[in-house]
Amino acid sequence: MWSVPPDRFPEEPKDCLSEGSVTNKPTVLIVGAGLGGLMLGALLEKANIPYYIFERASCVKPLGSAINIAAPVLPLFEQIGIFDQIEASGKQFTHSTLYREGKGEIFTTDYTPIKQFTGYKQYIVSRPVLYDLILQKVPSHRLLFKKRVLMISEHKDKVRIQTGDNCIYEGDILVGADGAYSAVRQRLYDTLKREGRLPNSDQKDLPFSCTCLVGQTRPLDSAEFPIIQEALCQFFSTLGDNKPFSYALFTTAQRNICYAVVHQLDAKSSKAAEEQRFRNNENSEWGPGAVQAMCVETRDFPLPIPGAKKWTMGDLYDRTPHEGISKVMLEEKVFKTWYSGRIVLMGDGAAVAMHDAVALANLIYALPNNTSKEIQRAFAEYKAERIPHVMDSYKSSKILAKRSGMDFGGTMALFFSKNIPQFVWNVLWKSMVKNRPVAGFLPKIPSKGAIPAVGSASEQKARAVFERRKADVHAV
């Protein structure tokens, strides 16, 4: 029997906005408390739209390395009120250097023109720090832990989820923000497949050709690691010498060194990873044994850190809490099916997920009512807006991965990267930095830099509704 225990949802937020009351607001159920799910929650909180975030884990455990925080997300961070904290907790970077293991520098990339184009600096921020900053914008009663989703269904113009603790929750919209191995996606796709409505490409396993070991050291002693005292982030990447590995490290404002070690898989190792993924049942993170094995395998990789000692990855592993290292698979697929009925999916990856969140928040805010017809229309607009940017991100990641390859294609990709003139980089960056999406229902962020942001359709739609509601309040 479907039932919703009366104490499962805490009190609803006040039904008011500073611009006036909005009736018929949807209740949004968000599955997954990653960066995308939290950002959507933070935006809905600002819009005063009721929502709840369901997380399968028993507590927040933000893992990972460092994230490049730059113009594509900084205007959004200004809107939700964490820009100053990003500046305080991030470390500005202007250059990155690529090395060949044991053979010195290949080339250095200069990112300083991006500040001129956008008016924003670029920062390296550790993933846990960023997570905590966004988490602060989500009231604790909106985030429910130990909520593994077992079933989803639609019933009388509502969507429902059943969780592993045998609770039922009901809302108007269900958002799957639970990563590449999304339980919401799996349940939705199972239903569509049974009904013969799932494209063949979406029925295939999620492909990948890389695994990645990520982590960050505890705060380091500057006498031992003078590099952490540098005012700018030291951003080094190294290509393995005749081995299918590349690795990068970043210094942070917290005196940590964050790192990521990427293993390019061949057919045999890819099959082994696929079997491990199946055993882990929907979880892309590997267990402690696999993490330890990769640490042992890569601990002798030399690091291009200035100093008298010849540092290796092992020196960083030894200075990292064991629970702070994780091993993940880097998936490579863009799904065709983004939504069905009242259920919609968000992408994985930090910037992509947060951009998905702002587009969805804009369109949910602008809904004229909660009918299935209007919700379906909003989801179609969401996909139409986001798919070009998602495809661009997908292609860029493929090119970057290609550069690390040991075959002829990798050699050519590396050659072109090394020999691209700065003016060509500038042309590429000018195109990339135009996409700086923001919420249309929050105060506008003044345009900065020489290249103005290109407004999104969802922002314009939300802005029109926002201005109309404000005018209605003033008229009263």
pLDDT tens-digit readout, 191-201: 999 999 999 99
Sign for the pseudo-dihedral over CA of 178, 180, 181, 182: positive
Mean pLDDT of 23-47: 94
Chain centroid offset of residue 185 CA: 17
Residue 17 above 60 pLDDT? no
Q: Is the pLDDT of residue 277 over 60?
A: no
Q: In whole angstroms, how far apart are CA 258 and each of 120, 204, 222? A: 23, 34, 15
Structural tokens at position 166: 């045998």
CB-CB contact of 323 with 188 (8 Å):
no
Rounded CA separation 346/177 (Å)? 5
**How far is Cα of residue 465 from the mean position of the Cα atoms in its chain?**
28
Question: Which tokens is 16 given?
Answer: 């008011």
State residue 328's pLDDT score: 82
Quick one: tokens of 183?
């339980």
CATH numbers and ranges of domains, the chain: 28-63+132-204+335-475 (3.50.50.60), 207-331 (no CATH)
Higher pLDDT, 142 or 454: 142
Tens digits of residue pLDDT in 92-134 = 999 999 999 988 899 899 999 999 999 999 999 998 899 999 9
Of the candidates 79, 22, 33, 76, the one whose C-alpha atom is nearest the C-alpha of residue 364 is: 22
pLDDT score for 405: 58
**For residues 378 and 350, which has the higher predicted lDDT (pLDDT)?**
378
- Residue 239: the pLDDT is 93
Three-state DSSP at 245 gives: strand
224 contacts: CB under 8 Å, gap ≥ 6 = none
Structure token digits, residue 135: 């988490």
